[in-house]
Amino acid sequence: MDNDAVFYTDRSGRITSNPLLDQLPSYQSLLYRRKSSVSGTKRRSSSRGRTGSSSSGKWGMSSFTRPLDKPKSQIEQQDIRELAKPMAEKRRDKTQRLEEARELSSWRQWRQSSHRYLKRLRDDAQEWMSSMKLWRGDIHLIEGMFGTGILSYFSFLRFLVVLNLIIFLIKFSFVMLPIIIAPYASGNITYNLNDAGVCTVYPSSSRLGLVIFHEHITDLLSGGGFLEQTYLFYGYYKADKIHFPNITYNLALAYLLSTIAYLFLSLIWIVKRSARGFKRNLVQDEDRFQSFCNKIFAGWDFCITNVNAARLKRSSLLYELKTDLEEERIKQKIADRTRKEKCRIYFLRLILNLFVIGVLAGCFYSIYIATIFSQEAQMTKIKVNFIVDLIYEYLPSIVITVANFITPLLFSIIINYEDYSPAFEIRFTLMRCVFMRLTSIGVLLFSLWSQITKCEEEPCICGYNHVLYSCWETRVGQEMYKLTIFDFITIVAVTIFVEFPRKLIVKNCDCGLAKWWGQQEFAIPQNVLEIVYGQTICWIGTFYCPMLPAICTIKYFFIFYIKKVSLINNCRPATRPFRASSSNFFFLVVLLIGLALACLPVTVSVAQINCSHACGPFVNYNTTWEVLPATVSQLPSGAQKLLFALSSEAFAVSFFVVTCLAMFYVIALAGAHKRVINQLREQLAMEGRDKRFLIQKLCQAQSLSTSRSPVSRPQPRSGSRSSPSYHTSFSSNFNEGVFLAHSPPDSSTHV
Amino acid sequence: MGNKQTIFTAQQLDAYQDCTYFTRKEILRLFYRYRDLAPQLVPLDYTNHPDVKLPYELIGSMPELKDNPFRQRIAEVFSEDGEGNMTLDDFLDMFSVLSEMAPRDLKAYYAFKIYDFNNDDFICKSDLEKTLNKLTRNELTEDEVRMVCEKVIDEADLDNDGRLSLEDFQHMIVRAPDFLSTFHIRI
User: Contact at 8 Å (CB) between A709 and A16?
Assistant: no
**Facing residue for B67 by CB, picked from A290, A306, A317:** A306
Give the model's confidence band at B73: pLDDT under 50 very low, under 70 low, under 90 confident, else very high.
very high
Q: Would B126 be classed as within a structural domain?
A: yes
Same domain, B145 and B113: yes
Cβ of B23 within 8 Å of Cβ of A127? The answer is yes
> Which has more pLDDT, A382 or A175?
A175
pLDDT tens for A702-728 read 888 888 775 544 444 433 333 333 333
Which pLDDT score is estimated for A724?
35
Q: What percent of chain A has pLDDT over 70?
A: 77
User: How many CA atoms, within 13 angstroms, populate the side-chain half-sphere of residue A414?
Assistant: 22
Same domain, B110 and B91: no
Which pLDDT score is estimated for B55?
92
User: Which of A208-217, A320-329, B98-107 has the highest average model confidence (pLDDT)?
Assistant: B98-107
The whole domain housing B127 covers 104-182
Parallel, antiparallel, or unpaired for β A520-522 and A571-573?
Answer: parallel
Residues A404, A408, A410, A414: is their CA dihedral positive or negative? positive
Same domain, B110 and B61: no
Which pLDDT score is estimated for A449?
85
CB atoms within 10 A of CB A398: 15
Tell me which of B64, B98, B132 is where a domain ends: B98
Q: Which residue on chain A is closest to B114 by alpha carbon?
A: A297
**Facing residue for A725 by CB, picked from B109, B121, B175:** B121
pLDDT tens for A100-115 read 877 777 888 888 888 8
Cβ of A298 within 8 Å of Cβ of B121? The answer is no
Contact residues on chain B for A293, CB-CB shorter than 8 A: 152, 155-156, 172, 176
Average pLDDT over residues A300-313: 81
Whole-angstrom distance, CA of residue A455 vs CA of residue A451: 8
Average pLDDT over residues B92-97: 92
Cβ of B182 within 8 Å of Cβ of A303? The answer is yes
Cβ of B103 within 8 Å of Cβ of A305? The answer is no
Q: Does residue B24 have a pLDDT over 80?
A: yes
Please give the model's pTM, rounded to 2 decimal places. Answer: 0.70
Give the model's confidence band at A67: pLDDT under 50 very low, under 70 low, under 90 confident, else very high.
very low
Which pLDDT score is estimated for A37?
35
Whole-angstrom distance, CA of residue A320 vs CA of residue B140: 12
Cβ of A82 within 8 Å of Cβ of B68? The answer is no
Cβ of A310 within 8 Å of Cβ of B67? The answer is yes
| Range name among A262-266, A349-353, A402-406, A506-510 with the lowest pLDDT average | A506-510
Q: Which residue on chain B is closest to A147 by alpha carbon?
A: B182
Which pLDDT score is estimated for A362?
93
Residue of A29, A62, A79, A81 to mutate, testing the B interface (most B Cβ within 10 Å of its Cβ): A81
Helix axes A472-494, A548-570, angle to 10 degrees: 10
Average pLDDT over residues A527-550: 92
Same domain, B114 and B83: no
Same domain, B32 and B93: yes
pLDDT tens for A414-445 read 888 887 877 677 778 888 888 898 889 889 98
Which pLDDT score is estimated for A558?
94
Which pLDDT score is estimated for B136?
86
Average pLDDT over residues A580-592: 75
Average pLDDT over residues A346-363: 92
Residue of B109, B161, B186 to mutate, testing the A interface (most A Cβ within 10 Å of its Cβ): B161
Which pLDDT score is estimated for A714?
45
Alpha carbon distances (Å) from A552 to A224, A555, B107: 19, 5, 40
Contact residues on chain B for A78, CB-CB shorter than 8 A: none
Residue of B119, B132, B186 to mutate, testing the A interface (most A Cβ within 10 Å of its Cβ): B119
Tell me which of B98, B123, B144 is where a domain ends: B98
Q: How far is B40 from chain A (nearest CA, A)?
A: 24
Average pLDDT over residues A523-538: 88
Q: Would B5 be classed as within a structural domain?
A: no
Vertex A449: Cα angle to A447 and A451 (nearest 5): 75
**Facing residue for A80 by CB, picked from B19, B139, B161:** B19
Give the model's confidence band at A737: pLDDT under 50 very low, under 70 low, under 90 confident, else very high.
very low
Q: Which residue on chain A is closest to B82 by alpha carbon?
A: A37
Same domain, B88 and B112: no
Give the model's confidence band at A745: pLDDT under 50 very low, under 70 low, under 90 confident, else very high.
very low
Same domain, B109 and B94: no
Q: Would B2 be classed as within a structural domain?
A: no
Amino acid at A621: Y
Which pLDDT score is estimated for A485?
92
Same domain, B19 and B50: yes
Q: Would B4 be classed as within a structural domain?
A: no
Same domain, B129 and B168: yes
Same domain, B18 and B93: yes
To the nearest 5 percent, what fractions of chain A are helix, strand and coil? 70, 5, 30
User: Which residue, B135, B167, B172, is CA-closest to B156?
Assistant: B172
Same domain, B114 and B56: no
Q: Would B1 be classed as within a structural domain?
A: no
| Range name among A180-189, A294-303, A361-370, A513-522 with the lowest pLDDT average | A513-522
Which pLDDT score is estimated for A28?
60
Q: How far is B100 from chain A (nearest CA, A)?
A: 11
User: Contact at 8 Å (CB) between A318 and B139?
Assistant: yes
Same domain, B78 and B117: no
Which pLDDT score is estimated for A583?
66
Give the model's confidence band at A277: pLDDT under 50 very low, under 70 low, under 90 confident, else very high.
low
Which pLDDT score is estimated for A65?
33
Q: What percent of chain A has pLDDT over 90?
A: 18
| Range name among A34-38, A487-491, B89-93 with the lowest pLDDT average | A34-38
Helix axes A386-418, A422-452, angle to 10 degrees: 150
Q: Does residue A77 have a pLDDT over 70?
A: no
Q: Does residue B177 have a pLDDT over 80?
A: no
Q: Does residue A72 have a pLDDT over 60?
A: no
- Structural domains of chain B, count: 2
Cβ of A82 within 8 Å of Cβ of B18? The answer is no
Q: Would B187 be classed as within a structural domain?
A: no
A32 torsion bin: left (phi>0), alpha (psi -120 to 50), beta (else): alpha
Q: In what order do the strands lie in the sheet with A248-250?
A: A188-190, A241-243, A248-250
**Facing residue for A61 by CB, picked from B155, B160, B170:** B170
Taking the C-alpha atoms of B67, B70, B76 and B79 in order, what is their torsion angle to the nearest 10 degrees?
-60
Q: How far is A583 from chain B (nearest CA, A)?
A: 11
Give the model's confidence band at B32: pLDDT under 50 very low, under 70 low, under 90 confident, else very high.
very high
Cβ of A296 within 8 Å of Cβ of B131? The answer is yes
To the nearest 5 percent, what fractions of chain B are helix, strand and coil? 55, 0, 45
Maximum alpha-carbon separation in chain A: 122
Cβ of B166 within 8 Å of Cβ of A729? The answer is no
**Facing residue for A303 by CB, picked from B122, B177, B184:** B184
Q: Does residue A76 have a pLDDT over 50?
A: no
User: Contact at 8 Å (CB) between B16 and B27?
Assistant: yes
Question: How many CB pairs (< 8 A) connect A and B?
Answer: 212
Tell me which of B98, B126, B161 is where a domain ends: B98
Contact residues on chain B for A289, CB-CB shorter than 8 A: 155, 175
Mean pLDDT of chain A: 76
Residue of B12, B17, B19 to mutate, testing the A interface (most A Cβ within 10 Å of its Cβ): B19
Q: How far is B137 from chain A (nearest CA, A)?
A: 8
Which pLDDT score is estimated for A534?
93
Contact residues on chain A for B167, CB-CB shorter than 8 A: 63
Give the model's confidence band at A693: pLDDT under 50 very low, under 70 low, under 90 confident, else very high.
confident
Give the model's confidence band at A493: pLDDT under 50 very low, under 70 low, under 90 confident, else very high.
very high
Q: How far is B10 from chain A (nearest CA, A)?
A: 14
Cβ of A730 within 8 Å of Cβ of B160? The answer is yes
Q: Which 3 state secondary structure label does DSSP give A35?
A: coil
Which pLDDT score is estimated for A599?
93
Q: Would B3 be classed as within a structural domain?
A: no
Average pLDDT over residues A558-564: 92
**Facing residue for A580 by CB, picked from B23, B167, B181:** B181
Q: Does residue A70 have a pLDDT over 50?
A: no
Whole-angstrom distance, CA of residue A526 vs CA of residue A531: 9
Q: Does residue A284 have a pLDDT over 60?
A: no
Question: Looking at this predicted complex, what is its ipTM?
Answer: 0.88
Cβ of A302 within 8 Å of Cβ of B89? The answer is no
Contact residues on chain B for A282, CB-CB shorter than 8 A: none
pLDDT tens for A629-665 read 888 888 888 888 888 888 888 899 999 999 999 999 9
Instruction: Assign residue B15 the CATH number of its domain.
Output: 1.10.238.10
Contact residues on chain B for A721, CB-CB shorter than 8 A: 82, 119
> Which has more pLDDT, A751 or A100?
A100
Average pLDDT over residues B113-142: 89
Q: Does residue A672 have a pLDDT over 60?
A: yes
Which pLDDT score is estimated for B3?
57
Which sequence spans correspond to the domains of chain A? 1-66, 82-131, 141-343+468-619, 635-682
Q: Does residue A741 have a pLDDT over 60?
A: no
